Structures are given as C-alpha cells and as structure tokens.
C-alpha cells in the first residue's frame, strides 16, 4: 500500500503551544481538511481517511518568554525533511508570523515603505539555496492575494491558497497538481523522477493534449504513458498503444489507422486502427521517432487538436472519422528536433518545447536501491514455486555496485541484471557483487552465456527490404522485355528456398526474442506459441495452430528443413511442434530423415 | 491614521476572523454535519469561541465606519509638508483629492459590501445563538437541523473577510 504524501506546514498558528498538550486550532484544521498530524509535539487526533501526513512547524521560538521568528531553525527543519525519505511532497508556507511586536509587516506604515513578512524571508532563502530550490512551495495565507502576489511571483511559488478556502478537496488538488508524490505503478522517489511524474499529471489533466515523452531507451516511457492515461480525465475510457519500431510502413499504417475491406489482398473485413479504438481515451504511439514519412503526414491530421481525423487504409475522403482523444508520443530520439528525416510541422504540433523528459537512470541514481528491491520481489513473486521461499536481500557492496554502474539501458537493464542474478542463483538469500552481471562487466559464470539479445536496430532495414521484394513480386508480370523474362526464368526454386530460409530465420528470431530465463534454464526455454504469435502478429492463434506454422515453415523446403533441424533453436522448436501435432509431420519427418 | 487602521484590520480580519474564528467555525460545522459524537469539542466552540463574534463584530463595524477617513490621502494635509499649503488651497485641494481617490478605489462599494455581509452575519448570529446556548448535551442532533443556517453564517462571515481584504492596503497616488 502506498504511504501518504508527507507535507510540511510552516505557520505560527499551528505550531505547538508552549506547555500545552494540545493545539485546538490544529486539531480543527486536521479534522476538516483530512490531515494526519505526525509532528509528534502534541497529542494528535485521529482523522478518518487522511489525504496526507503533515508536520507542523511554527517557524518561531520562545526565548525569555518572548516569541521571535526563527529563520535558521525553520530552514533546518525544512532541509532535514527534504534530504531524508520520505521527503516533503509540498511546503505550505504562511506569510505573516505574529511575534511580541505584533504581526510582522504590520509595524511598517504603508507610507514608510514595503512591509517585510517572515514568510517572504523564508521563501527568499529557499529560492536562493540550490539544495532547497526544488521544493514545491504553496503559499497558505489569510492575506489578500492582490496585496502580496507580485512579491512572491518570481520566487518559484506554485500556488496561493487563501486559508478561508482551504478545504479537503482544494488541498487534495494542490497536492496532486504541485506535490512531488510517489506512484504505485512507477517506482522511484528521486526529485527528477517525481518532477517528471508531476509534469505528466499536470499535462494529463487537460485530457486533450498531444504529449511528447522524450527519454533514453529503457527509461519507462511506456509506463509513463499509462500513468498519464490513469491521471487523465479519460482514465475510464480506452487506452491503446501502437509500437512502430521495426514494423513495416504498411503495417504501422494498418495498426494505427486500420483498413477498409478490400484495401489490400487479404483485407476481408474493415478493421479499426488503434486511433479509432482509443476514441474518447488515450492513444500512445511508441517509438514515434521511427515513424516513416508517409505515416508522419497522415498523423498530422490526427495530431491537429482542431481536426483529430483518422483515415483507414483504402478509405475514401467521406469515410474519414473525427476522433476525440489525447495522444501520447514516445521516442528515444532526444535530438528529434534536429532530425532531418522528421517533419518539423509534426513536431510543432506536439509542442516539442513542452516535451516531458523522462530522466535516465544515471540522473536518478537515488532510485536504484528502491528499484533493485522491487525487481527482486517481482522475480520472487513470479517464480514462487521454483525459488527458495525466503526473501532475498542485496548485500550493501552489491547495492553500491548497482548504484555506481553506468546502466546504458537504464531501468530495463537494471531489471535484467536483477532477474538474471535471481534466476541463476535461486538458492541464495543474499545477492552479492559476484552474482550480478553489471554493464561492462564480464559474466561471473563463464559457462552461462547471456541470452542473445534481440537487436532491433537492423530490423527496420530488413523489414523495408522485405517489403520491397514483396511489392516487386506482387506486381511481377511476364509480359516484359526479353531481358526481364531472362531475369526471372527458372528462378522459382531459388525463390522458394529463399522464402523458406527467410521464414525460418524470422521464426528463429522470434523464438530467441520470446525466450524467458528461468532458474533451471538461464538462457531461456524455447516456447513456440509466443514466438509464432510474435512472428505472425496474431495474438489469437492457438497453440496447435502455432505448432502447425512451425512445422510448415521448417518443412517448406527440403534443403532448408535439414539446415533447420540441425540448428539447436529451430531443431528444438520443430521437435516441440511435432510432439504437439504428430500426424503427417512425423511421417514426413521420418521420411526426410531416412 | 492609516497605519493604525491597517493594524486594526490585520488584528480583526487576518488574525481573528480568517485565521481563528472561521477555521474553528468550519471545523464545528463539519463535526455537526458528520454527526461526530465529540461533545467536548462542540461545547468548547459553542461556549468559548461562538460568543466572541459579538464583541468582534462591533469592532469590525466601527472599523468599517472609520475606513474611508483613515485610508484617504486627504489625511496628509493635516501634517507636514502638505499642512504648509496656503489656506486657500487647502480649502479645495484635499476634497478634490479625496473625491478622485473615491472613484479610483471604489471604496464605498467595497465598504457597502462588507457592511451588507456583516448585517447578514449578525442576523444569522442572533438566530443561531439561542440554539447554541440552549442546546442540550447531545449537541450534534440538536444542531443538525441548523446546519443550513450555520453554513449561511459561515458564508456571510467569509464574504465579510474578503470584502474587508479588498479595501486599500496602501495610500494610493491619485
């Protein structure tokens, strides 16, 4: 369960009365607004459904029976709670502090000059201190806002709340809008990370924006997109994600915008794309930076908030659909504004200057222990049956090593390192440095090679070439010149073998990509069903159909079949497929082998 | 005159009305609405804090009456250097400045709004006081019927605080 946000309220009224066991005004505030008083100086009342934990700070001391404002003590209290966990989510700051001489600021005659308020003095010190400057400050005062606003406006204050208007709902809104609050779905408590979450919430609030997420690979952009959806007024409406990296252009178009019946060979029915499916909700376009040029121009009309139109493949102009949605676009191309292959007008439409920057793991090292613990627990929960039931811990040295490592692949890399350590050493209760495969560090167990990583970098080019070949074949006619006829004559067996080999290679890549390491098999077990789902792009295909696909692909060409069976990955996949669907294939297989 | 009036406003409006009375009143009404069986706290407000309204409302009324004169730049003709102006000038200039200031600050409208809120709150206070004073031990159920009036009283008192806050904070150059 998430802990409550912890806020500090610096206000002379709510500070503990000297010698008194209770502060009735504070009790009234806590009960009406829903605050859980954790100051600890006086007995706190019990509050039903509190919205935050609060520490009250009077900002004053009593010396020789006289009350005076305590700048150093107050700044120390603010600093202490900011540099330790859980840190302040918000600082609510009063302006006027009552001392023996009366209210500060009140003594100065208006004609004599600008009155000074202790709240403003505190604010000035917080603003000037680089360590404290990131604290979200909200003014909570009974003073007239017009009277004082210009004096705090350029001091990083997020909001002004009139004390008479401080209700539970108002405070909840202030905390949500400006507070640095943790999330259940996204792990982290560092300032850069919490700032990123706050920005995401603020942008999501509108519900009609185009939001660009910029962040290195593995920083959690997709998770942040889901967080935006959950924080938006459209959270109860659909959420759809489109993945574009390494996907052929026509398929991106199809996935994003859908197609009409007959739009291409095999398009038996009209299908809505993700944009249409996300109508009234949120659409996330992952790896937006990799969108082909034709899709970029089509996306322009979807991103124009005044238009929001989507056109399916094969749709006529009168079949264009008007949509109402919020679009989240994610990319790891941090230099996208300078990219020559990207339409500038598209970037203007997503307001690149307002892009939310997702911090890399290097920028939020403070979160590494929290994330590492979370990933250990996640592995334990996922493999309860095979792992030793005791909870694992990470040794202090290992934690230091994790914190110092470079993590070019960011959080995803960290998760893999933890996963790998837990699975490779399932019987251990303490993970030490030697168990970790840190980036740039050789494996601690030379017999266990890491699972071949799926490298999508070559995929777009390959996919593009494949599409070119398919397009060329689609439009091939034998009515061309003699030279052309010569070029194609007798090439069918070769084409057949190439197709068979290419299909087998694609299947192998999918089998590799879907391997999941387990304690028994750190390289990952081969599973044909998810691999075929991935290769076919069909989530609904059954296990037996998947086995048929594997058999068909491998036995398409006799020569390729032999090569495939000799291959450890394809050979194992074939064995599994034959076990699942023994008929015919077994006969064929034994015949071929004999 | 001006600084004394400003100090009086701070004490009555900022310190007492907004920071003390209204906060306690809001908590009291919330407790009544929630049906909280917290007789000690309810009684504490009814006996100790509620009666404070009467004394403070008189002071607020006096302050509003004095407001125009105490805030007007006309007062500076009573002291140097403006007091050194020739009598002939002083016979018309202070009044002209005052008239221009009235237009610019719209003080009479703000004052009238504050008076109106004060009257409304006073009337409700008179109606509610006997109920609060004679409420039996079970304050919650006795007062539950008067929650609407209490909320109205709270709104009028809040409005009063806002209207007082809108009165000028500085002597403005006209």
Q: Does A588 touch chain B (CB under 8 A)?
A: no
Contact with chain B for residue A114, Cβ under 8 A = no
Strand-pair category, A356-357 with A210-214? parallel
CATH of domain A368-435: 1.10.8.60
- Average pLDDT value for residue range B3-23: 90
Write out pLDDT tens, residues B145-162.
888 999 999 999 999 999
Q: What is the per-residue pLDDT across A179-197, written as a single tens digit (0 to 9) for each?
A: 999 999 999 999 999 999 9
What average pLDDT does range B64-76 have in this prediction?
A: 88
Q: Does A31 touch chain B (CB under 8 A)?
A: yes
The pLDDT value recorded for residue A274 is: 95
CATH 3.40.50.2300 domain residues, chain A: 6-178
Q: What is the mean pLDDT of chain A?
A: 84
**Residue A160 host element (H or E):** strand A157-162
**ipTM for this prediction:** 0.73
Which tens digits make up the pLDDT trace of B122-145? 999 999 998 887 765 666 677 788
Q: What is the pLDDT of residue A404?
A: 93
CB nearest B165 (choices: A25, A102, A144): A144
Beta-bridge mates of residue A357: A214
- Does A103 contact B at CB distance below 8 Å? yes
* Numbered ranges of CATH 1.10.8.60 in chain A: 368-435
Across the range A374-381, mean pLDDT stands at 90
- Output the pLDDT for position A348: 86
CB atoms B162 and A164 under 8 Å: yes
Residues of A in contact with B23 (CB under 8 A): 25, 28-29, 32, 163
Q: Give the Cα separation of A556 and A573 in Å (integer).
A: 15
What does the alpha-carbon distance between residue B121 and residue B154 come to, in Å, rounded to a whole number?
A: 8
Strands A157-162 and A210-214: unpaired
* pLDDT at site A155: 84
A81-118 confidence digits (pLDDT tens):
999 989 999 999 999 888 866 556 544 433 344 557 89
- Say yes or no for a CB contact (<8 Å) between A163 and B18: yes
Q: Report the b/e string of B70-87 with b at 16+ CB within 10 A.
A: bbbbbbbbeeeebeeeee
Say yes or no: A99 contacts chain B, CB-CB below 8 A. Answer: no
Q: Does A458 touch chain B (CB under 8 A)?
A: no
Helix (H, G, I), strand (E, B) or coil at A17: coil
Q: Which among A26, A47, A104, A164 is the top mutation candidate for probing chain B, defined by the most B β-carbons within 10 Å of its own β-carbon?
A: A164
| Beta strand segments in A264-325, E | 271-272, 282-286, 309-310, 321-322
From B30's Cα to the closest Cα of chain A, the distance in A is 7
CATH architecture for the domain at A191-357:
3-Layer(aba) Sandwich (3.40)
Chain A contact present for B171, CB below 8 A: yes
Please tell me the distance from the alpha carbon of residue A5 to that of residue A136, in angstroms, as a whole number.
13
- Write down the domain spans for chain B: 2-166
pTM passes above 0.80: no
CB pair distance less than 8 Å for A103 and B170: no
Instruction: Express each pLDDT in A504-540 by its tens digit.
Output: 888 988 898 888 777 677 778 888 999 998 888 888 8
CB atoms B24 and A111 under 8 Å: no
Residue A126 vs residue A459, higher pLDDT:
A126
pLDDT band at A203 (very low <50, low <70, confident <90, very high): very high
What CATH superfamily classification does A6-178 receive?
Response regulator (3.40.50.2300)
- Which residues of chain A make contact with B11, given a CB cutoff of 8 A? 103
User: Is A31–B27 a contact, with Cβ atoms under 8 angstroms apart?
Assistant: yes
CATH of domain B2-166: 1.20.120
- Per residue in A421-463, pLDDT (tens digit) is 888 888 788 899 888 888 865 444 433 333 333 333 334 444 4
């Amino acid at each position: 369960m998430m802990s409550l946000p912890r806020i500090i309220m610096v206000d002379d009224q709510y500070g503990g009365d000297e010698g008194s066991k209770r502060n009735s005004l504070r009790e009234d505030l806590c009960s009406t607004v829903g605050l859980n008083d954790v100051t600890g100086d006086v007995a706190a009342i019990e509050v039903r459904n509190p919205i935050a934990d609060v520490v009250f700070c009077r900002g004053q001391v009593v010396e020789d029976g006289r009350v005076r404002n305590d700048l150093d003590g107050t700044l120390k209290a603010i600093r202490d709670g900011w540099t330790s966990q859980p840190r302040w989510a918000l600082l609510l700051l009063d302006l006027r502090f009552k001392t023996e001489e009366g209210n500060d600021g009140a003594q100065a005659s208006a004609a004599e000059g600008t009155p000074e308020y202790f709240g403003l003095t505190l604010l000035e010190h917080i603003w000037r201190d680089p360590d404290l400057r990131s604290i979200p400050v909200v003014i909570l005062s009974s003073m007239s806002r017009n009277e004082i606003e210009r004096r705090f406006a350029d001091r990083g204050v997020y909001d002004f709340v009139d004390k008479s208007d401080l209700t539970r709902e108002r405070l909840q809104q202030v905390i949500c809008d400006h507070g640095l609050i943790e999330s259940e779905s996204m792990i982290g408590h560092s300032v850069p990370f919490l700032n990123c979450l706050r920005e995401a919430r603020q942008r999501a609030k509108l519900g009609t924006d185009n939001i660009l997420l910029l962040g290195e690979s593995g920083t959690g952009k997709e998770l942040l997109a889901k967080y935006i959806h959950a924080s938006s007024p459209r959270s109860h409406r659909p959420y759809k994600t489109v993945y574009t990296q390494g996907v052929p252009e026509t398929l991106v178009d199809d996935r994003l915008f859908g197609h009409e019946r007959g739009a291409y060979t095999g398009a038996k029915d009209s299908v809505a794309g993700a944009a249409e499916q996300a109508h009234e909700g949120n659409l996330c376009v992952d790896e937006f930076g990799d969108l082909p040029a034709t899709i970029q121009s089509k996306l322009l009309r979807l991103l124009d908030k005044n238009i929001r139109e989507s056109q399916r493949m094969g749709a006529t102009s009168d079949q264009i659909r008007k949509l109402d949605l919020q679009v989240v676009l994610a990319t790891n191309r941090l230099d996208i504004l300078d990219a020559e292959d990207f339409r500038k007008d598209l970037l203007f439409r997503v307001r690149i200057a307002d892009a939310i920057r997702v911090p890399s793991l290097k920028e939020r090292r403070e979160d590494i222990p929290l994330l590492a613990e979370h990933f250990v627990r996640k592995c334990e929960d996922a493999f309860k049956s095979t792992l030793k039931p005791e909870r694992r811990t990470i040794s202090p040295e290992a934690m230091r090593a994790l914190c110092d490592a470079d993590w070019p692949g960011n959080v995803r890399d960290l998760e893999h390192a933890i996963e790998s350590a837990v699975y490779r050493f399932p019987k251990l209760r303490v993970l030490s440095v030697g168990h970790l495969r840190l980036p740039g560090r050789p494996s601690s167990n030379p017999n266990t090679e890491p699972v071949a990583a799926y490298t999508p970098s070559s995929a777009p080019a390959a996919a593009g070439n494949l599409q070119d070949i398919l397009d060329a074949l689609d439009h091939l006619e034998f009515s061309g010149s003699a030279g052309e006829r010569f070029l194609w004559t007798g090439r069918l067996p070769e084409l057949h073998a190439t197709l068979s080999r290419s299909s087998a290679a694609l299947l192998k890549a999918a089998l590799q990509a879907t391997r999941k390491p387990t304690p028994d098999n750190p390289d990952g077990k081969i599973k044909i069903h998810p691999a075929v789902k991935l290769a076919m792009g069909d989530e609904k295909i059954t296990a037996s159909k998947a086995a048929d696909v594997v058999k068909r692909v491998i036995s398409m060409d006799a020569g390729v079949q032999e090569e495939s069976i000799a291959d450890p990955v394809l050979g194992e996949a074939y064995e599994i497929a034959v076990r699942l669907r023994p008929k015919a294939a077994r006969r064929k297989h034994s015949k071929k082998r004999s | 005159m001006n600084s004394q009036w400003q100090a009086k406003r701070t004490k009555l409006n900022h310190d007492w009305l907004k920071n003390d009375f209204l906060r306690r009143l809001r908590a009291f009404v919330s407790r009544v609405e929630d049906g909280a069986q917290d007789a000690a706290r309810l009684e504490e407000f009814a006996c100790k804090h509620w009666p404070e309204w009467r004394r403070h409302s008189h002071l607020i009324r006096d302050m509003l009456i004095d407001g125009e004169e105490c805030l007007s730049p006309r007062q500076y003709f009573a002291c140097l250097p403006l007091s050194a102006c020739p009598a002939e000038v002083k016979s018309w200039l202070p009044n002209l400045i005052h008239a221009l200031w009235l237009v610019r600050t719209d003080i009479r409208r703000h004052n009238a709004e504050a008076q109106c809120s004060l009257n409304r709150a006073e009337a409700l206070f008179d109606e509610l006081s006997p109920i609060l004073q004679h409420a039996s031990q079970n304050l919650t159920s006795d007062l539950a019927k008067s929650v609407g009036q209490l909320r109205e009283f709270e709104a009028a008192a809040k409005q009063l605080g806002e209207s007082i806050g809108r009165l000028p904070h500085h002597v403005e150059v006209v």
